[in-house]
Chains A and B, each alone.
Chain A
Amino acid sequence: MFAFIVRRILQAVVVMAVISCIGFAIKHSFGDPVRELSGMTVSAQERERLREELGLNDPFLVQWGRFLKGAVHGDLGMSYLYKKPAMEIILGKAPATMELVIAASVIILILSVPIGIYAAVRPRSWLSRFFMGVSVIGVSIPVFLTAILLISIFSVQLGWLPSFGRGNELTPLFGGAWMSGFFTWDGITHLVLPALSLSSIMLPLFIRLIRAEMKETLEAEYVKFARAKGLKPWRVLVVHAFKNTLLPVITVGGVQLGIMIAYTVLTETVFQWQGMGFMFLEALQRSDVSLMSAYLVFVGFVFVVVNTVVDIVYGLVNPMVRIAGRK
């Protein structure tokens, strides 16, 4: 087990190094910090001196080493657009994205578990057929179209929910480092539509997964035995069968949590949600290469951490993975 964890972490470190290299290469080749930092009136000699001072004439590997050293200390360079450290800006935007992801995960959890179980237990009823049909269509609707559809129904037609932004009543947490929309009614109404549209992309997948796993478990001998023993049907379902479907659901869920961050870019664009994805697109439009590469490294880091943790947890609970990995 120990060897498995070490190998997994080592792999994560290698992947992170590659990502930082890519991120740095982008910044190195497309951005010119001297041009961004100095004004029009600065002379050519001044610029050259500045280049030397910033170490921009050093070989690529030396500069990458410096970038890595900074990144490990949480310094990902300056944003040209905001004239502030990129890390500070990303951390300022991260809570908005995290709240969106958390809210969407909660929606997925609340809806997919009962629907998935129901569809597995009564596969022939019209209601489960309806759910499965909706999930086929749900997979086929791009997330931004779902978002537009939700806006047109709930904001434009009915006028119940706001269509963009996070509202003005945010609660500062941790000394203002995390502006939260969870604690005011205004914040929650702003959250509903973005979270719903973000969850729409994963919901069909989870319903199908839970249904498939549950169906398989219900065929198992021990479920039949539990039924034969005369246990109450709901107890067989929830306590005996569902517990064993949780394992694959949790692993897939962990990985999907990371993938959801990618979809936040789309959701945040539609709802002008002031999170990381929105910031990334703004950086792209204003060609703020420094902030872009910082975002790449940061998001890459989140992905790698999530995947590594999920793998290790899976290895802990399922010994087959560890042994298969050893070869």
Chain B
Amino acid sequence: MNALKRFKDCYFLYSFLRDPLAVGSLAVLVVLTVAAFAAPLIAPHNPYDPATIDIFDASTPPAWTPEGSEKFLLGTDAQGRDILSTMLYGMRVSLIIGFGATILQAFIGIIVGLSAGYFGRRLDALLMRLADVQLSFSTYMVAIFLGAVFQTAFGMANYETFAVPFLILVLGLAEWPQFARTVRASVMAEKKKEYVEAARVIGLGSRRIMWRHILPNTLTPVMVISTVQVANCIMGEAALSFIGLGMPITRPSLGSLIKAGFEFFLSGQWWITFFPGALLVLLIVAINLFGDWLRDFLNPKLYKG
């Protein structure tokens, strides 16, 4: 109870509730995430179950248009799948990949940043040069190449079976330098402080100092980047799917739904592309707005000014 009361009184919650944009974006985010993960319960149809799909329902426009059907609120795609259901399932795939890739990036970035910042010298120079070089290439380019290499290496069929872990790996490997740089910078600043010296005087090992003492103090910037990176990864996944390096259409993400719809877009079937696209933008805007607020709140420079 005490913890709850303390949370109620803290400045974090106070400033969060005072910003309608932050509250709104978090609310949208929560609703979308819950809807995505509850897709098997709330979706009107199951797009993974071929038995419920009827090809005669294909390309039905949304329910409020003259040719629309009551059964499909947002219409159906070229294979007769309900757009609303595929969107919910697709958003789940997008979110899993977005969070998964961000966790992988943070994991790699924290290990690299911690060791570079703590041990310094040669290791630091080598790792940071590597990060610089990779950052100087666009992360998209790296992701596209990695995706292409994986697809050629494992064959199309295998790639489609393991698309989710593959995409997490591709996006994770493509964008870790962001985390590594930030963690390194904060480690460099923390390393000089007295508590680290004290820990060293007690005789603690460097691994313990790194993980138990320094790391917790570098997590604030990591949190800020993480929110933005989730949005970036979802966008990256959508981009990869759009050029055919991402999720297969049998297990669509938002990106591959857009790609699938684009083939029919010019012939007037706008709804197959439009709704997944709008949902993708809504999701990313919500994450970015929340990330912006978090950054402004946690950034001590702006905090004082």
Contacts and interface: CB of A to CB of B under 8 A. Distances in A.
A137 B21 CA distance: 13
Contact of A281 (B137, B243, B258): B243
Contacts of A15: 133
A20 interface: no
A145 B270 contact: no
A29 B138 contact: no
Interface in A120-164: 136-137, 139-145, 148, 151-152, 156, 163
A26 B266 CA distance: 37
B273 A148 contact: yes
Nearest to B277: A145
B244 A281 contact: yes
Interface in B116-148: 129, 133, 136-138, 140-141, 144-145, 148
B178 to A, nearest CB: 14
A292 B141 contact: no
B13 interface: no
B260 to A, nearest CB: 13
Interface string B142-158: 00110011011100000
Interface residues of B, number: 37
B277 A152 contact: no
B277 A148 contact: yes
Interface centre among B148, B245, B277 (most CB of A within 10 A): B148
Contacts of B137: 258, 262, 300, 303
A281 B245 CA distance: 9
Contacts, number: 97
Interface string A250-265: 0000010011011101
B152 A262 contact: no
Nearest to A283: B148
B136 A303 contact: yes
Interface string B245-261: 10000000001001000
A136 B238 CA distance: 19
Contacts of B266: 151, 156, 163
Contacts of B280: 142, 145
- Max count, chain B CB within 10 A of own CB: residue among A163, A255, A259, A289: A259
Contacts of B95: none
Contacts of B129: 11
A168 interface: no
Contacts of A259: 138, 140-141
B293 to A, nearest CB: 12
Taking chain B's interface residues, is the majority helix, strand, or loop, or is none over half, making it mixed?
Answer: helix
A307 B136 contact: yes
A29 B258 contact: no
Contact of B141 (A11, A151, A299): A299
Contact of B152 (A266, A289, A300, A307): A289
A294 B288 CA distance: 37
Nearest to B152: A30
A91 interface: no
Nearest to B254: A142
Contact of A140 (B136, B149, B231, B243): B231
B139 to A, nearest CB: 8
Nearest to A299: B141
A22 B171 CA distance: 18
Contacts of B145: 296
B242 interface: yes
A180 B129 CA distance: 39
Contacts of B289: 136
Contacts of A29: 153
Given A144-B239, A255-B136, A26 B152 contact: yes
Interface string B263-291: 00110001001000100110011001100
A274 interface: no
Contacts of B99: none
* A142, A270, A281 — most chain B CB neighbours (10 Å): A142
A45 interface: no
24 contacts: A29-B153, A30-B153, A136-B288, A140-B231, A140-B281, A140-B288, A142-B255, A142-B281, A143-B239, A148-B262, A148-B265, A148-B273, A148-B277, A163-B266, A258-B136, A262-B140, A262-B141, A262-B144, A265-B144, A269-B243, A270-B262, A292-B148, A299-B141, A303-B137
Given A30-B152, A141-B281, A289-B152, 12 more contacts: A11-B129, A140-B284, A142-B281, A144-B242, A148-B273, A151-B265, A163-B266, A259-B140, A265-B144, A280-B148, A284-B151, A303-B136
